[in-house]
Amino acid sequence: MPRRLPKYCVEDVDRHGNVRVYLRRNGRKIRIVGTPWTEPFMAAYAAAMQTMQRPEIEAGERVEIKRSAPGTLRWLGEQYFAGCADYLALEPSTRDGYRRSLEGAWEEPIEPGSVHLFGDMPIARATPKALRVLRDRKMDAKEAGNARVKALRGLFRFAVEYDHATTNPADSVPYFKTRSKGHHTWTVAEVEAYEARHPIGTTARLALAILLYTGVRRSDAVRIGPQHASDGWLRFTAFKNRNRSPIEINIPILPTLAAVIEGSAKGHLAYLVTKFGKPYSMGGFSGQFKDWCVQAGLPHCCAHGLRKAGATLAAEAGATERQLMAIFGWSDAKTPSIYTRAADRKRMAGAGMGLIETGRSEYNEVPPSAEMASSGTKTA
């Protein structure tokens, strides 16, 4: 496994979903701020190591930190993590995913069995052919392969912008084609089965109502509360992309949701709270909601699938793409068009399917002589 963090460093996730790095040694714990392997982080790491007063280090001995060679892919990654504005503006969980993808790529051998790693490759030798090798190493996990390509594209956009490279070789590496449709979309029958298992008054039922009747992501579901409700409407800024391109959500509180909220125990600043009265973290909520699904006999269902179910139901009831964009906080019409096209196909199939029987009946009602006459054929 690639070593993602310096020795003795560990990651911890706070209740807000933020990833923090600590140096843990000899029963002591020191937080290190910054992105691992960048120069500021490594300087703080060295200072923290000395503060720990490790017994194997003599007094005054300097802790040596191995740094990446300038001009290599690993070095480029360190510059990217520390100084790319686009990367730093991403959500912490997204940044962590990019970092994991790139650091995993750097630990790949250039050739099977070779001691030379991609992280030590000079930037100039990172051709599209070389990067396709990194993608193809993930042939058995295509989504991970696509994530690696996406991270490489962002890395080399930064490299071009800051004159570390002249072109972006990752742009010439296509994504794997996958047939995955993503998270399972709940059916009405599955929603009813969940509701039968978790009645009004339970946190489980309140969670489903919030997800289904607002269409919010889990990152918003764990945050919205009474302070966002006014005059029968919910008004809040979507958590996703709130720092780069914030989107204001204004949606009415549907009667069904209002009834569930009224009949449920809830927190003062968030509707959804744990048994200890604290708001859920995103990760904690996902795991808890999955448990509630399993209890209802729906192990294949998850929180995000309710968002898809809401979009499907709205589209099939006639919602336009612009309406879906307003409800679900989408800034691009590409996503809602997926649902409206599917709904249009279903409506057209429903309206047109009966024409097969109608056409056959009309055909059978036409006398053979009339058919021949209409075609200009003479009878004997």
The whole-angstrom separation of Cα 24 and Cα 9 is: 6
For the domain covering 70-180, report its CATH number: 1.10.150.130
pLDDT of residue 63: 39
The predicted model gives 204-217 an average pLDDT of: 93
Asked which of 154-163, 299-308, 331-340 is least confident by mean pLDDT, the reply is 331-340
Residue 47 has pLDDT above 50, yes or no: yes
What average pLDDT is seen over the chain?
84
The predicted model gives 230-249 an average pLDDT of: 87
The pLDDT confidence band at residue 30, using thresholds 50, 70 and 90, is confident
Domain residue ranges in the chain:
1-67, 70-180, 188-347
- Span 188-347 CATH architecture: Orthogonal Bundle (1.10)
The pLDDT confidence band at residue 380, using thresholds 50, 70 and 90, is very low
The predicted model gives 293-297 an average pLDDT of: 96
Q: Which residues contact 86 (CB under 8 A, 6 or more apart)?
A: 154, 157, 158
Tell me the pTM.
0.62
The pLDDT confidence band at residue 373, using thresholds 50, 70 and 90, is low
Same fold, 70-180 and 188-347: no
Among 6-10, 13-17, 85-89, 156-160, top mean pLDDT goes to 156-160
pLDDT of residue 62: 40
pLDDT of residue 374: 55
Q: How many CA atoms lie within 13 A of 94 on its CB side?
A: 14
